[in-house]
Copies of this chain bind each other. A is one copy, B any other.
């Protein structure tokens, strides 16, 4: 049985100039992170342009991730969708092609009751029959997975094993850990303090650009060296500051620009309505990334 722990970068979805998934670039991004020590991936989630992908694209990402990672780590495949039927179909597919686990945002746009949310997770969980992670992302979904709501889900969904916690209610990490859940902190800025609260690791986009920085946190954690852990966390924050260089909404573009540079293959632009970076902005972030000294130029 898979142990879900460690550094789990959230994969971007590289695009060709024509706006299709750039399959080779996607594989290279994963491989590059595995070589840096990443333990697994969160695929087609918020950083992967999630709900901007068609279901057929989600399926292709699941296949490729399972193939590429094969035996070298774990794949937590995102299957969130506006209807239970679509999410369940993606979940069933993810299991079929070899994902290690699935993750799913709660239903969004329309407001749902706790029972409707739990039932959604029950159907989706049963469709994959894989370990299931709840994706707590209230800034985008409008739904805070409170301790009470998580309890309802836990009572309803036998496949539930954990969550990615991307909420401002940081102290709830404790509560989820106490419930026996494997809690990944959803902010790369808080990996060290979250590990201190019992979180099992970190899932976020910025580590995909610079896994080296977060692997140092993880190594220090394993070594029980808190001073080194805090120091590494401080360095990692510089990467996050870079990702937010042009405002929070431009994080896709920054990640794609830096990763293009690091893997030596163009990862393209995010889909509209996300505005692309200009050529000058791309140059700027690459220079900034190199100046951080966190990783060598490609």
Q: Enumerate chain A interface residues (CB-CB to B < 8 A).
A: 19, 46, 50-52, 82-85, 107-113, 115-117, 119-120, 123, 139-142, 168-171, 174, 187, 189-190, 192-194, 196-198, 224, 226-227, 229-230, 233-234, 237, 247-249, 271-275
Contact = CB atoms under 8 A, between A and B. Distances in A.
Contact of A273 (B83, B139, B168, B273): B83
A84 B168 contact: no
Given A52-B82, A85-B272, A142-B142, A196 B189 contact: no
Interface residues of A, dominant DSSP? helix
Most buried by B among A108, A123, A170, A192: A170
B193 A249 contact: no
The count of identical subunits is 4
Given A189-B174, A273-B107, A113 B247 contact: yes
Nearest to A177: B234
A85 B19 contact: yes
Contacts of A237: 174
15 contacts: A52-B83, A85-B271, A85-B272, A108-B108, A110-B140, A113-B249, A116-B274, A119-B273, A123-B272, A168-B168, A193-B197, A196-B229, A197-B230, A197-B233, A226-B226
Contact of A196 (B51, B123, B230): B230
Contact of A141 (B109, B115, B227): B109
B193 A274 contact: no
A36 B90 CA distance: 43
Contacts of A271: 83-85
B168 A139 contact: no
Contacts of A193: 170, 193-194, 196-197
